[in-house]
Amino acid sequence: MENYQDQDKILLAVDCIIFGFDKKNLKILLIKRDFEPERGRWSLMGGFLKKDENLDEAADRVLNHLTGLHDVYMEQLRSYSAVDRDPMERTISVAYYALINANEAEAELNEDFSAKWFNIHEAPNLIFDHNTMVNNAMARLRRRALTKPIGFELLPKKFTMKQLQTLYEAILDEKLDKRNFINKINALDILLKTEEKDMKSSRKGSFLYMFDEVKYNKKVKEGFAFKL
């Protein structure tokens, strides 16, 4: 016991980088900090690890407390352990990034945190090392988008091919050739084309698609790799 008791006690926190999509822009969900230090500034949603939970459970709790959502796509990013990253206490943070449908989450947002969606390129300066976390998460998200169809969590259940391309352009921050993109997506054979149309996009309308998660998961097990 002495070996444990003589060691430094360090706080462990989780911070959630929450990405959303509004059919046009990639967004990030931020909260306004209501306590010192840095009271009144924009921040990622975070919290401390409790004794009876692991890191994944803590991240899920933090995300749910703000958005009301469970079972969303969430991935551990990395840990941040600079000695002076938090001026109050020595705190190590493990960052996660989550992908959610911004429109679905809007109605469930906890008003206690003054949460607000920002376009990713218009987000304000954040506290501590949160800007670095966001930049690291964006780099990871772009790498993932080039190797597998990760963005479906950001779309509604039914979406147009144009909405899918717009999402990828928002994540990659570049314009994609329409014909080439459609051909590559169709070649994956992981979309279900419905008989429904989105009549807001044009006079003729655009067919709506759904993501075939079962077929995609089967392809992944077979060694399938997505090359955009």
Report the CATH fold assignment for 150-221: Arc Repressor Mutant, subunit A (1.10.10)
Query: 178-188 and 161-172 are packed helices; what angle lies between their axes, rounded to 10 degrees?
Result: 110
pTM: 0.90
pLDDT at position 226 over 70: no
The pLDDT assigned to 192 comes to: 94
pLDDT at position 51 over 90: yes
Mean of the per-residue pLDDT values of the chain: 91
User: If you average pLDDT over residues 203-208, what whole number do you get?
Assistant: 89
User: If you average pLDDT over residues 56-77, what whole number do you get?
Assistant: 93
The pLDDT assigned to 32 comes to: 95
Q: Are 182 and 209 in contact (CB under 8 A)?
A: no
Going 10 to 94 to 26 to 142, the CA torsion angle's sign is positive
The two domains 2-147 and 150-221 share their CATH topology (first three levels equal): no
Report the CATH fold assignment for 2-147: Nucleoside Triphosphate Pyrophosphohydrolase (3.90.79)
Could you tell me the residue ranges of all domains in the chain? 2-147, 150-221
User: If you average pLDDT over residues 215-222, what whole number do you get?
Assistant: 78
The pLDDT assigned to 127 comes to: 98
Q: Is 167 helix (H, G, I), strand (E, B) or coil?
A: helix
User: If you average pLDDT over residues 132-161, what whole number do you get?
Assistant: 89
CA neighbor of 20 nearest in space, from 130, 147, 141, 136: 141
> What is the spatial distance between Cα 125 and Cα 83, in angstroms, rounded to a whole number?
21
Token pair, residue 154, equals: 């950001």
